Amino acid sequence: MSSRVRSAVIVLLAAVAVIVGAAHRGTPEAAQAGEAAATDVKAGARLLPGVPTSATAPVPEVNSAGTRSLTGREGNTVALTFDDGPHPDYTPAVLDILREYDVVATFCLVGPNAKQWPDLVRDIVADGHVLCNHTVNHDVHLPGRDRGRIDDELGGALDAILAAVPEATVPFYRAPGGNFAENVNDVARSLGHTPLGWSIDPGDWKQPGASRIRDDVITSMHPGAVVLFHDGGGDRSGTVAALPAIIEALRDAGYEFVVPAA
Ligand SMILES: [Zn+2]
């Protein structure tokens, strides 16, 4: 294609990405995510089929409340994260795909699920993936609760995880609904967790279908991205179905899959 046509295509796709992003910011989940997801995103190179990505290194990006939303790793890196599990159907399916492609990921577990399916927690760790505390009750209003409640939510989930994998570390905390705040982040840090947000949210929890999830992640991609997926909390078959194509597209574009800096 001519350079003029290619430029027009790039402009068009960038516009679509902006519109899709604006639509996401209108959702309750994204609204709860607030600044962590919306303001930490650097305008990085867009990943487009057939278009080389920029070699721009990501800036380790941590907001004023101490929430990390980019990988903090040099080069064209991307971190895949999976929330609300483990789940007896979708977590094994995700693990199979990650194993097939030799991709590392971060799993943000809720306490009762870790307690109910400790074998899945052990499988996650045995495959070399990294754990993240996603609280006991997934209370999206956690920043407004008293200190004792916050301690119970994070401490309880950590206990449930460590009951399954006593030797493991849990380097990250992810706020329910992305509702990060300084008071909860302080508790998270006291437990050894780095608060971990994200920079790309394909809204897979709304079950838009595998092709929408795939296209959204690929057109939004930038170096240092942290991608929010879900392997629990509902029907995640679309997420599972989208995953191989996403991994292949990113790898073809030169992306390296990483665990974020703690
Ligand atoms: Zn969640």
What CATH number does the domain containing 110 carry?
3.20.20.370
Distance from the CA of 244 to the center of ligand 1, in angstroms?
22
Distance from the CA of 226 to the center of ligand 1, in angstroms?
15
Q: Helix, strand, or coil here: 199?
A: coil
Distance from the CA of 261 to the center of ligand 1, in angstroms?
21
User: Active site residue: 84, 201, 230, 231, which one?
Assistant: 230
User: Does a structural domain hold residue 169?
Assistant: yes
pLDDT at position 61 is 84
Is 138 one of the catalytic residues?
no
User: Does a structural domain hold residue 47?
Assistant: yes
Is 24 one of the catalytic residues?
no
In this structure, which residues have their CB less than 5 angstroms from ion ligand 1? 83-84
Neighbours of 118 (CB within 10 A): 16
Q: How many domains are contained in the chain?
A: 1
pLDDT tens-digit readout, 90-135: 999 999 999 999 999 999 999 999 999 999 999 999 999 999 999 9
User: Does a structural domain hold residue 262?
Assistant: no
User: Does a structural domain hold residue 202?
Assistant: yes
User: Does a structural domain hold residue 40?
Assistant: yes
Q: Which residues touch 64 (CB under 8 Å, ≥6 apart)?
A: none
Q: What is the pTM of this model?
A: 0.81
pLDDT at position 60 is 52
Q: Which residues touch 14 (CB under 8 Å, ≥6 apart)?
A: 46
Distance from the CA of 28 to the center of ligand 1, in angstroms?
13
Q: Residue 189 is part of which domain span? A: 3-257
Distance from the CA of 33 to the center of ligand 1, in angstroms?
11
More confident residue, 219 or 58: 219
User: Does a structural domain hold residue 183?
Assistant: yes
Averaged pLDDT, 200-222: 97
Of the listed ranges 43-57, 197-211, 230-244, the one predicted with least confidence: 43-57
